[in-house]
């Protein structure tokens, strides 16, 4: 029987809080067919460099396998190359980009460790689905270990233009590693196009074929767009229940008197928070009639605190929030409430449901599920308005949001006024159309479409091998266009 094997940097272990849509979607896919979820345990071994076997937990037809990593190796892999090099590069922030050869070597070593630990756990018929930029070279390492079955890779973040990509000294190695996969998935057509353009720049026009079928000799890499979604009905139910609770009614009492503008973003320079705070101040300056009548709640949970760039942005945001509050606040009104902590998922959904406007203005984002959760959480009888960056992947699907350039602080301020003034009939119309789009590309459709592409890749592998038993392969493998 076919089994789905998911591999990610972190594993959402049973009993642990898993607020993200990724964890929910992967578990749903694995529960249907039985599955294995493999990744880092969240623990590091100080001063140890041994390669112990993964820890195994079985729950509800799903096997969780987690691996400890040496502390020094993990820091260079995760804080160094993954988040100090790849994250800014893939988001096209070259001013934040840094490269150290030793950190790239740690990244390659961790991917190799993952492959060595995962290979003995695999079955012949497994479908292997690798997630995100932390594990780009895992596919090539698994091939080196003799894994021949279908392996797919999904990039949750953007893929940059070739001129940005080649700022990375090891970009050719990473591009070649991506050719070890059978299926490459992207959030948007723009990301897929950027990857194919880079492949053409490296290996010529002939490496990308317009034909979707297999070509002999060689096993082809199939690229596709698989926009990740949310569980619309689950979000709606959770938001409705939580918003109606006594605790939430008391927590949001002030927002019954004032219109709530909300932002929910991990603390990260890619999220456009500095520009958003400036836009909100510009809004209060330009439209003084809203002073005292609108409250802006920005929730920005801490993440990657050990990376210097995030420490700097936190300090700057605190200064800007303080400056705005010092200038505009009154005895009974605080313009910005800026919170650096996590909240339970149900609480976040209730706050999203309560908000009249949600500001989602990243400078660059692969998808952004907060935008989708906001739409799903709304009361369809009296929905709020989404102000959405045109640089977020979600903008491709949610065209009925108020789309803005995240660098245009005046434009964001104007969109905020438009959202607050929008008549109920227009709010309902926009919400209904966005909700329809979310249901067409929900979380379950995302996981099902990708696993279907992996199964098709497995069938093509068998067909190619029957036609070409000698197993002649070309490098680089042809890519589908």
Q: Decide if pLDDT at 26 tops 80.
A: no
pLDDT digits (tens, 9 = 90+) for 35-77: 999 999 999 987 666 788 899 999 888 999 999 999 989 999 9
Which whole number is the average pLDDT over 295-303?
90
Single out the residue of 291, 71, 90 nearest to residue 175, CA to CA.
Answer: 90
What pLDDT score does 305 carry? 54
Kindly state the average pLDDT of the residues 471-480: 43
pLDDT greater than 70 at residue 190: yes
pLDDT at 184: 96
CATH code for residues 4-228+443-480:
3.40.50.2000
* Strand bridging mode 55-59 / 62-70: antiparallel
What is the pLDDT at residue 219?
A: 58
Closest listed residue to residue 110, CA positions, set 184, 63, 180, 51: 51
Q: Where in the chain is the domain with CATH 3.40.50.2000?
A: 4-228+443-480, 232-440
Confidence of residue 283 (pLDDT cuts 50, 70, 90): very high
pLDDT, tens digit, for every residue of 192-230?
A: 999 999 999 998 887 887 654 334 345 588 999 999 999
Q: What global pTM score does this model have?
A: 0.92
Share of the chain above pLDDT 90, in %: 75
Q: pLDDT band at 467, cuts 50/70/90?
A: very low
Cβ contact 103:81 at 8 Å: yes
**Fold of the 232-440 domain:** Rossmann fold (3.40.50)
* pLDDT band at residue 474 under the 50/70/90 scheme: very low
Give residue-wise pLDDT tens across range 226-264.
999 999 999 999 999 999 998 888 888 878 789 999 999
Instruction: Give 473's pLDDT tier (boundaries 50, 70, 90).
Output: very low
pLDDT at 83 over 70: yes
- Active site positions, annotated: 156, 365
Asked if pLDDT for residue 314 goes beyond 60, the answer is yes
User: Residues of the chain with pLDDT > 70: what percent?
Assistant: 88
Residue 424: what pLDDT? 98
């Amino acid at each position: 029987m076919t089994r789905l094997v998911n591999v990610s940097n972190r594993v959402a272990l049973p009993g642990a809080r898993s607020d993200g849509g990724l964890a929910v979607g992967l578990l749903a896919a694995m529960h249907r067919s039985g599955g294995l979820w493999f990744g880092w345990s969240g623990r590091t071994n100080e001063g140890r460099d041994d390669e112990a076997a993964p820890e195994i937990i079985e729950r509800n037809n799903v096997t969780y396998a987690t691996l400890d990593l040496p502390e020094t190796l993990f820091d260079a892999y995760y804080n160094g190359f993954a988040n100090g090099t790849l994250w800014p590069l893939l988001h096209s922030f070259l001013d934040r980009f840094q490269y150290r050869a030793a950190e790239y070597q740690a990244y390659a070593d961790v991917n190799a460790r993952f492959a060595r630990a995962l290979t003995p756990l695999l079955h012949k018929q497994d479908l292997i689905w690798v997630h995100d930029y932390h594990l780009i070279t895992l596919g090539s390492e698994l091939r080196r270990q003799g894994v021949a079955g279908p392996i797919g890779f999904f990039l949750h973040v953007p893929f940059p233009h070739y001129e940005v990509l080649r700022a990375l000294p090891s970009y050719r190695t990473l591009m070649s590693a991506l050719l070890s996969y059978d299926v490459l998935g992207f959030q948007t057509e723009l990301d897929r196009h950027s990857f194919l353009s880079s492949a053409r720049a490296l290996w010529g026009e002939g490496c990308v074929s317009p034909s979707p079928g297999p070509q002999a000799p060689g096993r082809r890499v199939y690229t596709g767009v698989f926009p990740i979604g949310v569980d619309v009905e689950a979000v709606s139910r959770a938001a409705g229940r939580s918003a109606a609770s006594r605790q939430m009614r008391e927590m949001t009492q002030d927002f019954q008197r004032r219109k709530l503008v909300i932002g929910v973003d991990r603390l990260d320079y890619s999220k456009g928070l500095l520009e958003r705070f400036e836009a909100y101040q510009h809004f209060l300056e330009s439209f003084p009639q809203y002073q005292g009548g609108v409250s802006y709640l920005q929730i920005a949970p801490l993440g990657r605190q050990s990376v210097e760039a995030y420490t700097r942005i936190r300090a700057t945001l605190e200064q800007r929030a303080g400056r705005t509050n010092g200038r505009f606040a009154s005895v009974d009104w605080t313009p910005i409430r800026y919170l650096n902590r996590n909240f339970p998922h149900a609480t976040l959904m209730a706050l999203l449901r309560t908000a009249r406007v949600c500001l989602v203005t990243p400078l660059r984002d692969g998808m952004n599920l907060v935008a989708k959760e906001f739409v799903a959480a709304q009361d369809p009888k009296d929905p709020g308005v989404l102000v959405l960056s045109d640089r977020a992947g979600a903008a491709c699907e949610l065209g009925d949001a108020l789309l803005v350039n995240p660098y245009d602080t005046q434009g964001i301020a104007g969109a905020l006024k438009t959202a607050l003034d929008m008549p109920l009939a227009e709010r309902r119309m926009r919400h209904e159309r966005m909700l329809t789009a979310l249901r067409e590309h929900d979380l379950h459709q995302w996981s099902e479409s990708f696993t279907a592409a992996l199964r098709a890749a497995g069938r093509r592998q068998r067909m190619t091998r029957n036609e070409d038993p000698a197993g002649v392969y070309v490098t680089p493998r042809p890519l589908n266009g």
